[in-house]
Amino acid sequence: MARKYWTLNNRINHIKDLVIKLDKDPKEISQKDFAENGLGGLISKNYSSNPYLALKEAGLASFEPWEMINSSVGNNYWLKNQENRIRAVKWLVNKTKKRPQEIKIKDFEDNHLRGILSHYGSYITALKEAGYDVMSHRKFKNYWTPIKVDEAFDQLKEELGRIPNYDEFLERYGGALNAIVNCRYHSKVNNWSGYLEYRALKPQHIEWDIQKVDEAFDFLRKKLGRNPICQEFSTKKYFGAFRFIKEGKYNPIIKSWNQYLKYRNMYNGWTSEKIDNVFDMFRNKLKRTPTQKEFTKSYGGALAFIGAGKYNPNITTWNNYLRHRRVKLNQNNWTPEKFNKSFDNLKEESGRIPLRIEFLNRYGGGALEILSHGTISGIKKWNDYLKYRKLEQIGWMPKKVDEAFDKLRNELKRIPQLHEFKKKYSGAFDHIFKGKYNKDFHTWSKYLRFRGYEQNNIKQVLDGMLNDYIQGEK
């Protein structure tokens, strides 16, 4: 359409029509939605390709820009405007309904405000700039004696009306939990379950009912920005809720995940268009054609849709689907020479010996077939191949994980970020993520707290405090 066509009224009408047509929450609208509905020129020429600005002019943005699911808020939004930073921090405190002293890095991350920390270097500095006094309430080394730990636990237990769980205690009293796991509370108590046992307490399990199941689903849906899939909802945290549905306790006629989604009016059945979209997305992510096994693992329902002839009556196999999409079929043309060269390239990129899963993700199952067939000197296993190449893969244990962390921290002269540690020591990261380092936690932020570090470099925080003090003296 000609530029002159896009008057204010025409712009607003088209934007409102788009939201109605897609039947989406305005927060979920993305630049791609505009482009796929013939409005790419509208958003690029009038709103700098920013969906929030378009929605705001149409009167549909009754929320902040960072609340959008596909937030387009960049670093410049925070770096160049102090008012934006202060407004966001005050919004966070108000939304979480926490005292400023209780706000943690996780609160910024869970509310799409991770980018703001790139300006401050510390969430403490962010809170201070917004006018909150947080340092006076912080606890310093050796503060958490056994008596104070118990007092903190008892206070939280009284507030909740039940025994707090690990995450709740960590969120409120991270320092106290650190004292427990580091055996400063008691020499024989080094984890949360051990502490509860020492106090002669048993953790209370959630008694699931219809309301609690729906609340858990809505919470996870909001966190993910989409409907959770069956595997995500049936994890340890929500397994009780999932079983409540499967056993027909939620509703006698509802005993499957799809039935529950349909009941909640959130079922998105497969269509030919959706299958093509997820295939293209998956293919772009892998940078190659996915194998049938890979596609089945991520989108089993889509492959069943194809197999039943619902995609196209003449297309009922994976290879037929690939031919229909005019995609090159996966053919195993791997040779020992190509395998060795690919291994060396990945080793050079990562700066270490790659894991089997990393090699599989990069080159697909066809690459590993030559191992299973013994094509390379009769070798059939990954570890045997490493021995053949005279390479030794690290067997990770807590001590080695800590040594790897400390080494990278010394190299960077600051606390490594998750993606930096994972890139260099993915095996060590997996050791943490899978709970093998410590069964009480599975995340990077909790590992840092366990080691006595904040998410961001404490040196930056102290430098900021020193600078504030010097400015005050002037």
| Rounded-to-integer distance, Cα 166 and Cα 178, Å | 12
| Rounded-to-integer distance, Cα 360 and Cα 346, Å | 11
| Rounded-to-integer distance, Cα 95 and Cα 131, Å | 17
pLDDT in tens, 226-260: 778 777 787 656 778 888 898 889 888 888 888 88
Closest by alpha carbon to 374, among 319, 336, 412? 336
Token pair in block for residue 357: 């899963």
Token pair in block for residue 206: 């959630």
Residue linked to tokens 């053949």:
388
pLDDT in tens, 185-218: 998 888 888 899 899 887 666 788 898 898 888 8
Q: Which pLDDT score, from 0 to 100, does residue 474 have?
A: 44
| Rounded-to-integer distance, Cα 278 and Cα 299, Å | 8
Residue linked to tokens 């010097």:
470
Give DSSP secondary structure letters for 403-452: HHHHHHHHHHTSPPPHHHHHHH-HHHHHHHHTTSS-TT--SHHHHHHHTT
| Rounded-to-integer distance, Cα 256 and Cα 245, Å | 7
Please, what's the largest Cα pairwise distance for the chain?
80
Other Cβ atoms within 10 Å of 311 Cβ, number? 21
Beta bridge partners of 189: 186
pLDDT in tens, 323-360: 888 876 655 567 888 888 888 888 777 667 777 777 77
Q: Which pLDDT score, from 0 to 100, does residue 149 have?
A: 92
Predicted TM-score (pTM) above 0.85: no
- Return the exposure string of 315-340: e unless at least 16 CB atoms fall within 10 Å of the residue's CB, then b: beebeebbeeeeeeebeeebeeeebe
Beta bridge partners of 251: 254
Closest by alpha carbon to 278, among 298, 297, 307? 298
Q: Which pLDDT score, from 0 to 100, does residue 52 have?
A: 86
The answer to whether residues 366 and 334 touch, using CB atoms and an 8 Å cutoff, is: yes
Residuewise pLDDT in 10s, the chain (474 residues): 555 777 888 888 888 888 888 777 788 888 888 888 888 888 888 888 888 888 888 888 888 888 887 665 766 777 777 888 889 889 988 888 888 877 877 788 778 787 777 666 567 778 888 888 765 555 555 778 999 999 999 988 888 787 887 777 877 787 788 889 888 899 888 888 889 989 988 766 678 889 889 888 888 887 776 778 777 787 656 778 888 898 889 888 888 888 888 888 766 667 888 888 888 888 887 777 888 877 877 777 788 788 878 888 888 888 889 888 887 665 556 788 888 888 888 877 766 777 777 777 777 666 677 777 777 878 878 878 888 888 765 567 888 888 888 888 888 888 888 878 887 787 788 788 878 888 888 788 888 888 887 655 444 444 444 444 444 444
Beta bridge partners of 312: 315
Phi-psi map region of 364: left, alpha, beta (phi>0 left; psi -120 to 50 alpha): left
Q: Which pLDDT score, from 0 to 100, does residue 154 have?
A: 92
**DSSP SS3 for 162:** coil
Residue linked to tokens 């509703």:
251
Give DSSP secondary structure letters for 111-139: TT-GGGHHHHSSHHHHHHHTT---GGG--
User: Distances in Å between the alpha carbon of 110 and those of 67, 120, 263?
Assistant: 10, 18, 28
User: Where does residue 354 rank: exposed (0-12), middle (13-18), buried (19+ CB within 10 A)?
Assistant: buried
The answer to whether residues 250 and 214 touch, using CB atoms and an 8 Å cutoff, is: no
